[in-house]
Structure 1
């Protein structure tokens, strides 16, 4: 059973009070401010030049790539967590970027990679499972026994090939909390994105958020959607979104999650199956439909799109995707590539949709009435203020109060 009854709603309201205004008002709009190749392009300098445009476009938070020392240039194989010299630029340049973001009131979201950590020294079993000569100098007990250490079994999925951190150890949690507090208070990060959140129990995320107090936090709980032979995406993804809901719930509701259910359904729906966008209860079929204030919607990220392209959104339907997530409840995220690398037309169309969202005060909990969900047409009214459609089907809202606000290939948006 999903989050569909009043008892859940009461608990949701209570959880919302924790993170202050950010989660209470639900007016977050995020930009993922990098892709898989960004480390090649003097990134902190590049981003600093773009901060005025990011702020003017209405983004409240910019998710930055991992800023700490890493064995991989992308930042996802960390070792010395207290070193801010990375392939994206020096600590000096990073702090210049963060000051610019603070000046323009765009919050910096840190990419928190704490599922795994590359060792410095061979220890138990001849593996690199010790952390000597650097801050957070842990021994083999900091590494899970299932990844070559002397710690406990992992509380989540293994990230293979690298020592996985044992979050059951009190000394590990104490040190991670100290590091997260340093990122918040000394470095200047305000928001957190938890990488590979399937790798360790959500209760630890709850503790880290409670102790470090980010303004906003989101977890990457990337689970595989439900498919039948073919493979063909199942219509009903309730069990998929329920697993994400359970993860959010186990963080005490303190952490949002990327809405992989909505992404999986939406990128199939835009290919002539828009009937998928209404669940059996008449709601949006992703996490957005059950717990919209914790659903961080997106089209693509550095893993699904970019040069990795593990699960890309169909390129000919990108603007339909943004017309959907930028007019709907949830917390929308725009991908750097689509905003800056796909041409001025895409950039300007996204900015127009962002303007409509802000000026019509669409937020994470806005109401939604789905009017049409046919193979070639999806139409909905959001917050009783915005009406939209996507697909090839011809449609417009009835009533003289609706005025066309913007339109493009296979989408249109109206407001009163």
Structure 2
């Protein structure tokens, strides 16, 4: 896999370009909005854009995860509209072409677990199962009536002639005959229960919602394999974001990605999977099972950020990466702070600094943190996040030296390279809920050693003493080299001593990014 488009020398950076409530305006569709923003994204240093689900969904109310027809990108009059919630296929194609011309890679959100919004009902035998343990059958097979026939009348067989019915699904959660909401397993040829190659939550997590696609059925597999090639060619995309992959048959997922790489002639096709689990051991086990065919979102790191935001100075920042995927398998980790499903206010700038300015991992920023909207944008965060993104593009290169000395204040230095000078970063915890701690009190603690010989308690208010690269600090006969904080207009410059060290300050509850003055 590759983390950046061809001929790209800058740090890779992805953006999730939508929120749960994102919509186009009366005059501009979402795809047109994306097209208009491509120049800005390029200037910021974005190399990849994860777009929302492109296919026609059951309703325009949701983001597109209620997929109706994968082969309709806003081209056919289906579900009361030609356009999807995001716009028409023509608008999508133009936006993708503009992004490609600027060297920005498109990431397709592949929703291959379920279907919603069937065209007709049908009757068939199904077995009710326990919601908390999907392997327990609550009774014998019985006849139910469910919305499982997908004719796609508006498309009229263009691109794909396949029609879907209950034989292509392993489960549903609604019996229209008795108007009962319950999970039903659908028995049939080629099946011996749910797929055994899925996550073992609820004993078996094959079923998630809607009409659950059975990835073991030959017709299903061939149609989805064909779609994988088609969608990459239609959008000129460089990879996939695999939605809800803990519910996929992982043998299918590996074959889907392998086949798409071969048929598109893109052996370095990128993939990142959403396997939502906070336990690093569980996640790492699944990483091994997928055998390097996909990277993963670093959900354990996200939970560490969340805990740091809630616990304030009682959270030990020195252990931030200890139980995170980026700490164990950095080449497999896509790091993130928030996404369309999760939003929290605290520790956000510090968290973004930790994913944007360090060497390890492939960071993904969230549209709602960067673009003003009424849903989740914080004006205290957005402008400074943009500065952090610029710092990633212009300064954060070279090796990383960590200064993880205090539980509530950590720092690191990037050495830079031939074209970029590097930077020094200091991160401090926020005051926890209900706590009051004066700067005078903080400055007087944190000097004792713990049993590991590391400083315990809180950081000295003056800052962290760190060493910048030897190529950047002064010679004895020269004027001192000075560093400035990119995120603060009020901070004083820091002079580097002859040995390359300096004390780099940072206010409580934020981050400071120190770079050489020009």
Whether these two folds match at TM > 0.5 is yes
> Which aligned pairs between 1:260-299 and structure 2 lie closer than 5 A?
260-270=299-309, 271-273=311-313, 275-279=315-319, 283-299=321-337
CA distance in 2, matches of 1:278, 1:285: 11
CA distance in 2, matches of 1:332, 1:20: 10
Q: Is the 8 A contact 1:373 1:379 kept in 2?
A: no
Deviation at 1:326, TM superposition (A): 0.8
Match for residue 398 of structure 1 among 444, 450, 466: 466
| Cα deviation code 1:248-284 (max 9, x no counterpart) | 22222121111111011112214424744434xx954
Is the alpha carbon distance of 1:198 and 1:66 closer, same or farther for their aligned partners in structure 2, counting shifts above 3 Å?
same
CA distance in 1, matches of 2:56, 2:336: 28
> Which aligned pairs between 1:118-133 and structure 2 lie closer than 5 A?
118=116, 119-123=118-122, 124=124, 125-133=144-152
Structure 2: where are the runs of 5+ without partners? 75-83, 125-143, 154-159, 172-182, 199-204, 417-421, 430-458, 474-481, 489-508
Tell me the TM-score normalised to structure 1 length.
Answer: 0.80
Secondary structure of the structure 2 residue equivalent to 1:252? coil
Tell me the TM-score normalised to structure 2 length.
Answer: 0.65
Partner of 2:500: none
Partner of 1:338: 369
Matched, 1:251 2:286: no
| Cα deviation code 1:24-44 (max 9, x no counterpart) | 999421001000111354211
What is the alpha-carbon root mean square deviation over aligned residues? 2.9
CA distance in 1, matches of 2:313, 2:252: 39
Partner of 2:386: 351
CA distance in 1, matches of 2:305, 2:15: 19
Secondary structure of the structure 2 residue equivalent to 1:82? coil
Partner of 2:275: 221
Structure 1: where are the runs of 5+ without partners? 1-17, 226-239, 305-311
> Which aligned pairs between 1:147-186 and structure 2 lie closer than 5 A?
147-150=184-187, 152=191, 153-154=194-195, 155-156=197-198, 157-186=205-234
Secondary structure of the structure 2 residue equivalent to 1:97? helix
In our comparison, the structure showing a higher alpha carbon Rg is 2
Match for residue 426 of structure 2 among 367, 386, 389: 389
Is the alpha carbon distance of 1:333 and 1:283 closer, same or farther for their aligned partners in structure 2, counting shifts above 3 Å?
closer
| Cα deviation code 1:146-183 (max 9, x no counterpart) | 65534531443245440111112232222111101001
Deviation at 1:398, TM superposition (A): 3.2
> Which aligned pairs between 1:205-244 and structure 2 lie closer than 5 A?
205-213=253-261, 215-223=269-277, 225=278, 240-244=279-283
Q: Is the 8 A contact 1:149 1:163 kept in 2?
A: no
CA distance in 2, matches of 1:84, 1:147: 30
Q: Is the 8 A contact 1:147 1:164 kept in 2?
A: no
Q: Is the 8 A contact 1:147 1:163 kept in 2?
A: no
| Cα deviation code 1:38-63 (max 9, x no counterpart) | 13542112211111101111111111
CA distance in 2, matches of 1:25, 1:150: 52
Partner of 1:97: 95
The number of residues matched between the two structures is 371
Match for residue 194 of structure 1 among 232, 236, 242: 242
Matched, 1:144 2:170: yes
Secondary structure of the structure 1 residue equivalent to 2:465? coil
Is the alpha carbon distance of 1:252 and 1:336 closer, same or farther for their aligned partners in structure 2, counting shifts above 3 Å?
same
Q: Is the 8 A contact 2:30 2:86 kept in 1?
A: yes
Q: Is the 8 A contact 1:390 1:412 kept in 2?
A: yes
Partner of 2:510: 410
Partner of 1:12: none
Matched, 1:324 2:354: yes
Q: Is the 8 A contact 1:389 1:411 kept in 2?
A: yes
CA distance in 2, matches of 1:201, 1:373: 44
* Structure with a larger share of its residues in strand: 2
